Amino acid sequence: MSGQLTIVQTKPGYSKGLRVLLYAFLTTMAVMWLVPIGGAIYSSFRPYQETQTKGIFSWPDSLSFSNYRDAFTQGNMGKTFFNTAFIVVPSIVLILLMSSVMAFAVSRFSFRFNVALLLLFTAGNLLPAQVLFQPLFQFFKWMPWPNFLSDTDTGSLLGTKIAVIIVHVAFQTGFCTFVLSNYMKTIPKELNEAALVDGASVPRTFFQIILPLCRPALAALATLEFTWLYNDFFWAVVLLNKGDERPITSSIANLGGAFFTNDNLVAAASMIVAMPTLIVYLILQKQFISGLTLGASKG
Amino acid sequence: MSTDTLATAPPTPGRRRRYSQLSKSDKVWLSLMVGIPTVLHVVFVWLPALATIVLSFAEWDGIKLGTWQLVGFRNYWTIFTVLEDKLFPALFNNFVLLVFLSLCSAVGMLFAYLLDKGVRGTAIYQSVFYMPVVLSLAVVGFIWKSVMFSQAQGLFNLGRDKPIDFVGNAEKIFTIHLPFLDNPVGLSKNFAALLIAMAWRHIGYVMVLYLAGLKSVDSSLREAASIDGCNEWQSFRRVVFPVMKPINVVVLVITVIEALRAFDIIVALKQPVGTSVMGVLVKNNLVGEGGGHVGVGSAYGVVLLLLCLGFIVWYLVNHYRENEL
């Protein structure tokens, strides 16, 4: 068998006809994929009366931001965006901190319960949220919490953003520990040993040697967790009962009424909510994909 | 720790550093590093899951502590008999979703396979197919409701004289008569519509995972297969697909868990009749209107938990047997 033949065979070459077919199929699919978002963007700039009579596939008589303005004010989106930031930012910081120390300890030192702990974390992350929520709801309800530390007046943790943060951190730490411990196993352990020989303490080894090496994984996880927490619907709905205390994603579900009869207003609201994750995705696409595949490729 | 103690320690190549060789303060640090996340995770994830199991054997309105009492299997008896017309349609919807999402996973794999053929502009196609994945299912629901399904202007209603109410129509596409049930279960038209919206998001997710998997397949394997005279399908079926086993397992787990967890899109669209799934049943019995049935809600929850646990255990056994730690 000649060497040249094998090089030619690396990617099976298609005949020209098949290639055209392949591109035609993929392009058709891609266009179909863009239709819902494209349609939402297009109709969100147009008055409802117009698209209702002429349909979405029509030349626009007028384009304006008025749907966006209405959606923003009716949905009180300034406030709800702030709520989201208040929940998502501290959650991500805590999740990454918790999971990286945990992953460091279980992946670089051997304990008796290493495997059991990782099993527990991985399995915990796969549990459905609905199964956990009633006991957590009760726990937060009976957990006294001073009103001056929260934005509710219930005197308990229920209804505070802190409750949502706690749940996110506890739940997501499972997934991130799994990913980070897989990642840390690829770092040569001689690095640890050298650090210990040189007299570095465990926290120092962690912060100055291992953690900096995990930067790609941490960046990937941060982007991934950002969308997951930003998109959280369930916990915000069940733990925060007042509409305008809720983060943006769950608050649009709460608008109801007049909002729902105007499809273009719904489209505008959807686009406002989708914007941050879409922007983050378009800018940090690489991190996204690597975050997902980090979790997957190692099993 | 001094270099002397290390030098005298028996050399154990390939073994990890033993815990006992660490200084006291390091041991304290390590215990905290393991302890704090573990306590947090156990207290806020596993204990609630166990508590739900306990509550499923109790009767309680969820309002006053101490008023609950154990009632044995009564809640399970209730959901499997009195409430059978709630439980089984929801279970059936979850099942349909599982079958449907599995098909979507196959489509995602096909997309990945085609994109891996050295297509020009792979990155662009990939971004397009993956884009819906970054949207929340609630937003996906709203976009499809307003743009695709809307009775007034939806693209699915384009050119129809009588527009179809995709989100409201609970008419069944097909029904199945189960021998132990009085009323048949079936797939309603509006749930089928939601399935399409969910496919839009699921396919891109799976595609990205498989693209990464395909890139990691050693190209010499394919060469060998084609030299041995495999056609394209044979080399995929016999060589590429088995080599991607880790990805296959992850995709299977994601598909199953997504199908069982389904919740957001249905609740965001105000739970149209006929689209009930287990997650929604659990929540409806616990909070909001009709809530306060802690025992019954928890029993639904345990049914859901058992379905998930089966897969979780299978996955973990699979994962940790092959990647011994």
**DSSP reduced 3-state for A1:** coil
Parent domain of B215 = 86-322
Start-to-end CA distance of chain A, whole Å, equals 36
**Residue-wise pLDDT tens digits, B25-67:** 888 888 899 999 999 999 999 999 999 999 999 888 877 777 7
Start-to-end CA distance of chain B, whole Å, equals 26
User: How much is the pLDDT for B322?
Assistant: 67
What's the complex ipTM? 0.85
**Residue-wise pLDDT tens digits, B289-319:** 667 788 899 999 999 999 998 888 888 887 7
Minimal Cβ distance to B33: which of A37, A105, A231: A105
What b/e string do you get for A3-41 counting C-beta neighbours within 10 Å, with b at 16 or more?
eeeeeebeeeeeeeeeeeeeeeebeebbeebeebbebbb
Minimal Cβ distance to A167: which of B29, B44, B62: B44
Torsion of CA B121, B125, B127, B130, to 10 degrees: -150
Contact A43 B308 (CB under 8 A): no
Judged by phi (left if over 0) then psi (alpha if -120 to 50, else beta), residue A55 lies in left
Is B268 domain-assigned? yes
> What is the spatial distance between Cα A14 and Cα A220, in angstroms, rounded to a whole number?
35
> What is the spatial distance between Cα B191 and Cα B275, in angstroms, rounded to a whole number?
5
Is B64 domain-assigned? no
Contact A282 B145 (CB under 8 A): no
B208: chain A residues, CB-CB within 8 Å: 289, 292-293
Is B240 domain-assigned? yes
Contact A253 B267 (CB under 8 A): yes
Beta carbon pairs, A and B, within 8 Å: 340
The DSSP symbol for B76 reads H
Closest Cα in chain A to B259:
A128
> What is the spatial distance between Cα B109 and Cα B133, in angstroms, rounded to a whole number?
16
Q: With CA atoms as reference, report the closest residue to B303 among B38, B78, B13.
A: B78
**Range A78-253 has CATH code 3.40.50.300:** no
**Residue-wise pLDDT tens digits, A161-175:** 899 999 999 999 998
Domain ranges in chain A with CATH number 1.10.3720.10: 78-253
Task: Find the range with the poorest average confidence among A68-72, B53-57, B166-170, B286-290.
Answer: B286-290
**DSSP reduced 3-state for B188:** strand
B304: chain A residues, CB-CB within 8 Å: 128, 130-131
Q: Which residues pair with B172 in a beta bridge?
A: B188
Number of domain units in chain B: 1
Contact B250 A296 (CB under 8 A): yes
Is B174 domain-assigned? yes
pLDDT of residue B5 exceeding 60: no
Average pLDDT over residues A206-218: 90
Q: With CA atoms as reference, report the closest residue to A140 among A162, A171, A173, A111.
A: A162
Contact A105 B249 (CB under 8 A): no
Residue B172 sits in a domain whose CATH number is 1.10.3720.10
> What is the spatial distance between Cα B140 and Cα B43, in angstroms, rounded to a whole number?
33
Contact B49 A131 (CB under 8 A): yes
What b/e string do you get for A139-164 counting C-beta neighbours within 10 Å, with b at 16 or more?
bbbeeebeeeebebeeebbbbbbbbb
Is B123 domain-assigned? yes
Element (H, E) at A201: none
